[in-house]
A and B are shown apart, each in its own frame.
Chain A
Amino acid sequence: MADARDLDLLAQVSSGLPLCSRPYAQIGAKLGMDEAEVIDRLAALKAQGLIKRLGVVVKHRPLGYRANAMIVWNAPDDVIKHLGEHISRFSFVTLCYQRPKQPEWPYNLYCMIHGKDRATVLAQLEQLDDACGLAAFERQILFSRRCFKQRGAVYQTQKMAVSVDE
């Protein structure tokens, strides 16, 4: 579990790593930790899974990823896990989740494909259908039409910005 010093460290790096030769030393200087402690704690937080990933967070649109499709299926309970694990292995799949069905919304398996254009995304979806045997299940394809907001979560009490990838 993360302790109080870990939380201070997470809050300090949440807005981004400093762009300098010894970024972990600079972070540590603000917290009264030496470079080695920062490195050890970050490595441990990553190993625990609390830090899912360290690296760049890209914006889809400037890179030319303009077609963003959320595909949802009504998958039977006994195969949903197998399907989710299979779908998530494809490199063009950016997210894959199981979510609860809703009244008038019988879908429980969600996947996102970010592609340069719709034709590419639809071709990739066909590839998924074939490989995973998805054609048998009821589905919907929801392309995004406009992005109103794409930013991290801001947690006031912890002074932490959390990047959200749902």
Chain B
Amino acid sequence: MDDIDRHIINTLQTGFPICDAPYRQVAEALNISESELLARLKNLLADGTLTRFGPLYNAEQIGGALTLAAVKAPLERFDEIAGIINAFPEVAHNYARSHALNIWFVLATETPEQQQRTISAIEQQTGLTVYNMPKLKEYFVNLNLKA
């Protein structure tokens, strides 16, 4: 990744134009050609620096349900519990964190009922209590990780 790649990532994190020739518009702002921009984006996607190039939806508005949940996995069962949770397709993110509540995961389901069923299934398979912490309010931030 070089400075031009960094510049592309930083620019495209703030948005992408909705117009006839959006890549050309972005390329002009970056002072490179459209074909160079397209080639670099292909490489950044291929090498995994970018996961996706497209829209971030508001899941609730399309009927989906999201929540953040956590369990206290006993250390001797940590890998087993992490494996059980990871295997659920409803788990979108899953992180080990430094706390007694040591496995934190995001459940993304199509309905609130499916969320409840998934939580029950995880509790049943792990024998642990799932702490369910759905968002009550989101404070808007400008997501922008400087490359």
A151 to B88: give the CA distance in the assembly, Å. Answer: 13
Chain A residues within an 8 Å CB radius of B137: 81, 84, 97-98
- Chain B residues with CB below 8 A from A30, complex form: none
Give the size of the chain B interface in residues (CB under 8 angstroms).
75
> For residue A149, which residues in chain B have a CB less than 8 angstroms away from its CB?
86, 91-94, 105
A56 within 8 A of B: yes
Q: Across the interface, which residues of A come within 8 angstroms of B92, CB to CB?
A: 149-153, 164
Whether A166 is near chain B, meaning CB under 8 Å from some CB there, is yes
A100→B132 CA distance, assembly (Å) = 9
Total number of residue pairs linking A and B with CB closer than 8 Å = 247
Residue contact B50 to A56, C-beta cutoff 8 Å? yes
| Interface status of B116 (Cβ within 8 A of chain A) | no
Confirm or deny: B141 has a beta carbon within 8 angstroms of a beta carbon on chain A: yes
A151–B85 Cα distance when bound, in Å, is 14
Q: How far is the CA of A147 from the CA of B51 in the complex (A)?
A: 15
Q: Smallest Cβ distance from A75 to chain B, in angstroms?
A: 12
Interface flag for A20 (CB, 8 Å): yes
Chain A's closest residue to B101 (CB) is A105
Task: Using known A-B contacts A142-B98, A149-B91, determine if residue A50 contacts B141 with beta carbons closer than 8 Å.
Answer: no
Q: Known: A22-B20, A97-B138. Contact between A146 and B96, CB under 8 A?
A: yes
Asked if B66 and A58 make an inter-chain contact with CB atoms under 8 angstroms apart, the answer reads no
Cross-chain pairs A/B with CB under 8 angstroms, 19 sampled: A19-B23, A35-B20, A50-B58, A55-B12, A59-B48, A99-B68, A114-B145, A145-B97, A148-B86, A148-B94, A149-B86, A151-B51, A152-B51, A154-B89, A156-B110, A160-B57, A162-B57, A164-B59, A165-B56
Task: Give residues in A with beta carbon < 8 Å to B.
Answer: 2, 7, 10, 13-17, 19-25, 35, 39, 42-43, 46, 48-60, 62-63, 65, 68, 70, 81, 84-85, 87-88, 91, 93-100, 102, 105, 108, 110, 114, 140, 142-158, 160-166
